[in-house]
Structure 1
Amino acid sequence: MVNLALIGMGLVGSQVLKIIEKNLQKYKDQYNIDFNFTAIFEYDGALISDAGISVSEVLGSHNFRDLDYWKPGVQAIEAIPDTKADIIIDATPVNPDTGEPALSHILKALKSKKHVVTSNKGPFYLAYENIKEIAEKNGVSFGFESTVGSAVPCLGIRDSLAGNKIKKIVGVLNGTSNYILNRMTSEGISFNLALQEAQENGYAETDPTLDIEGYDAAGKLVILANHLLGWNKTIKDVKISGITKVNEDMISLAKKSHMEIKHLAVAKDGELEVSLKLIPENSALALGGTLNGVYLDTELAGEIIITGRGAGGSEAAAGIISDVINISRRYLLADT
C-alpha cells in the first residue's frame, strides 16, 4: 500500500484524483501498487483519514466539506509531518516571486522524510539546490516532471541519457506564446487579437504577463538547465525578453524568407536566454498550436527532440502520476 496526500484540489489536483481513482485496478495489475489517499488539503481545512479516504465519495459529493473526513481549519504546512502519507503531492498555484506556499510544503515534507511530487515550478527555479540537498540528507526523493512540459518527459530523459553529455538545450516552453505567434503567422492577425483568442480559449490567463513577457519560459529553462546540465542557476540568471513587440510586418518578412518567429529558451555555454528567434519553417521546433518542444544537442547521441502538449489539467496530472508511480516502484516497493 502506498499512501498519498494531496495539497490543492484545483484543476490539476482534481484531475490527479480522478485519474488515479479511475485507474486503481490498472496500477495494481501493471505495477503491483495499491494507492490510498490519507489526506486531501484545501485552503480552509482538510479531508483526513489514516484508514483511507473514499476518493469516489469526495468526487461525487456536492460539497466535500460536508463529509465526515473533513477537518476545518487544518493547514497542510502544520499537518504534513503527522500525515500517514508516504508521498506528498503539491498541486498548488505558482507564485513566481517566492515559490510559496509550495516551497514550504516541499521542504517540510522532505524534512519529515516523505517523498514529494509537484507540478509547481516556482520552488525549482528558485531553490533547486536547497531542495535537492534536503532530500538527499533525509533519504527521500522528489518528482517534478510536470513543472516543464507537463506530461512531456523533458526531465525524465536524463536517466535515459546517463553517460551522455548534453551540450545545449533549446525549447519552445510556453504554450500561450506559441499559440499567439502561430495565430499571427497563420491568419495574419494582430498580437492583441491573438492574445484575446488565447484568453477566450483558456490558453492564457486574464493577466498573461508571465507568459507573454517570457518569465514562465525562463523558469522552465532554469529547471531544465539545472537538472539536465548540472548547473546551479536561478531565474535571475536568465536574459529575458517577451513577444509583445512582434507585429504583422515582422511576421510577413519572416514568411517571405521561409522562416518562422518563435519564442525560444536557450541554455548554452553557461548562458540562459529567452527571446524571439527566426527558425526555418521546416524546423522540428516550428510547432503549431500550444505544443511544447525541447531540442537537446548531445555528445554521443546527436540531436534529440521531444514534443507534446505542454499545458492542461490532465496533462499536468499525467506527469504527476508518472512521478508518483516511479517513486513508489523505486523507493516504496523495494522492500516488499
Structure 2
Amino acid sequence: MSQFEEDTPTARANVGAPQPSGAELRRWRQYLANERAEAAVYRELAAHRTGEERAILLALAEAEGRHEAHWRELLGEQAGRPLRADIRTRTLAVLARRFGSIFVLALAQRAESASPYASDPHASAAMAADERIHEEVVRGLAARGRLRLSGTFRAAVFGANDGLVSNLALVLGIGATGVANSFVLFSGLAGLLAGALSMGAGEYVSVRSQRELLDASNPDPEADKVLPDLDVDANELVLVYRARGMEEEQAKLHAALVFSRLHAQGPPPTAPINAIDEHESVGSGWGAALSSFCFFASGAIIPVLPYLFGLQGLVAVIVAVVLVGIALLGTGAVVGLLSGAPPLKRALRQLAIGLGAAAVTYVLGLAFGVSVG
C-alpha cells in the first residue's frame, strides 16, 4: 500500500482501527452537514459577484466539497440521514441568499477561523491547513468590501453613536435636575437638531477640504501638451514620475515608453502624466453631510422617545437607558462583525463607553438639582 493510500479514511478503517464511538459518528455527521452548507454559502455569494471574486468563491466551494468527501468516505454506510448544519452555518446560508454582502463575508471569515479541524485527529493536516488559508482568502475578499465601505461605515458608526451618547447624556443630565418633563423633551429635541446640524456641517467641511487638498495635488492636464517639445534624451518627465513615487529606473522606463508611443505611428498616449496619479475617492460633500445628519439624528432620537410618549421621572430615565443600551449593543456588534472581531466583546465595549459617559452627566445633574422621582 502506498503512502497516500495509507492516509485515506478507508485505508485507516481497514487496518484494524477501533470502530468509531457514537459521539465521533455524530461529530463527523455534523462536519459533513456543515461542509455541505458552507459550500452552498460560497456558491450563493458567487452568484452575487462577477469576474475574479466569483471565481475565488467558486474555488472555495470546491474546496469545501473535498472536505465533505472526506467525512462522507470516513462515515461510509454509517453516514445516515443528512443532518442540518449548525446554527451559525445556517444563518450564513440565509444571509448569503438574501444579501450576499460584506456582512456575510465577515461572518464567513469568523466561521473559518473557528474551524475545529486543527484539534480533531480525524481531520487531515491538509484540511486544517485549508481552513486556515480559507480564512485568509475570505479576509482578502472582505477587505475589498471593507475598503469600499470604510468611509460610509465610519460616518454611520460615529454619527449614530455620537447621537446616542450625547443626547442620552443631555437628557439624563437635565432630567436629573428635577425640571418639568416638557423641558427635558424640548432639550432632547434641541440637542438632536443642534447635534445633527453640527455633524452635517462638519462632515461637509471635512470632505470639501479633503477634496480641495487632493485637487491641489492633481497634475495639470495642460502639462501633457508640452511633451512633444521635450528633449527625448534629456527631459524632466522622469523627474515627474520620481516625484510621484516611482523608483528612478522605473521612472526612466515609463518615460521611455511614453516617448516611444508619442513618436510612433498611431494615436498618441492619453494623459501620460495624469495616468500615474491616483487618489482615493472621498465622495460628495453634500452626500457626506446628509448621511452624517441622518445617522446622528437616528441615534439622538432614541433617548428622547420615552419623553415623546409621555413617560416621566425615573421610568423615563430607565426606558431611555435601556433603549440606548440596546442600540449601543447593536452598533458594537455590527462593528465587531465587520472587523472580524468578537461581536459580543465589541458590543459590551460600546455599551460601557456610552453608558459610562451618560452616567457622569446624570450624577452631575443630581448634584446640581433634585433627585428624579
User: Same fold by TM-score, threshold 0.5 exceeded?
Assistant: no
Bucket of the pairwise TM-score, normalised by the shorter protein: under 0.3
TM-score, normalised with respect to structure 1: 0.25
Higher helix proportion: 2
Structure showing greater radius of gyration is 2
Higher strand proportion: 1
Compare relative contact order (CA 8 Å, sep 6+) and give the higher one, 1 or 2: 2
